[in-house]
Amino acid sequence: MGFNILRTTSISTPISSSKSKPIFSTLLRSSPSTIFPPKSVTPTTLFVSATPFFTLHPKLGFRGGIVAMAAPGSLRKSEEEWRAILSPEQFRILRQKGTEFPGTGEYDKFYEEGVYNCAGCGTPLYRSITKFNSGCGWPAFYEGIPGAINRNPDPDGMRTEITCAACGGHLGHVFKGEGFPTPTNERHCVNSISLKFAPANSYS
């Protein structure tokens, strides 16, 4: 999606823990039932989850960080399930890799402070401080939140598609080396309809 411009979850981390008592050498003289009790302790699985955190810096403005996110591929659904929760246009773009017309998207000229989440599953994808005006007709970002976005070459090898790492939703395409004055020299060209903006104050 887009044109080349010749210028620019919760992660659920299983922590297995089991209660065990040290067996000292003095127990070697005990009966087998003492050393190996009949009831073994069943390991339990704890899930530690984290959420996005956002702060307002008095001089630097909105700052954001993601301490964890949904595991890659953890929010997959069937086509029928996606059709039930997405609008027809969301389904066309997110699940069928469509493209909205340039200059028509809600977030093309939108520059509020906050975070852009996946419209399909809600996973945070981009921070507003990485958004810039590329003039391409679609929202442009110079980088995504680490681990939130997958890259895959299009079948024709001409472009690189970007998708939500959690649910696989189509976002758009990424272009490199266009000469925009950004830290990464990349342009993530994203469909507005693939995103859902959350203002900074919604996390306060």
Write out the catalytic residue numbers.
189
Three-point CA angle 161, 164, 169, nearest 5°: 80
Cβ neighbours of residue 81 closer than 8 Å, sequence gap 6 or more: none
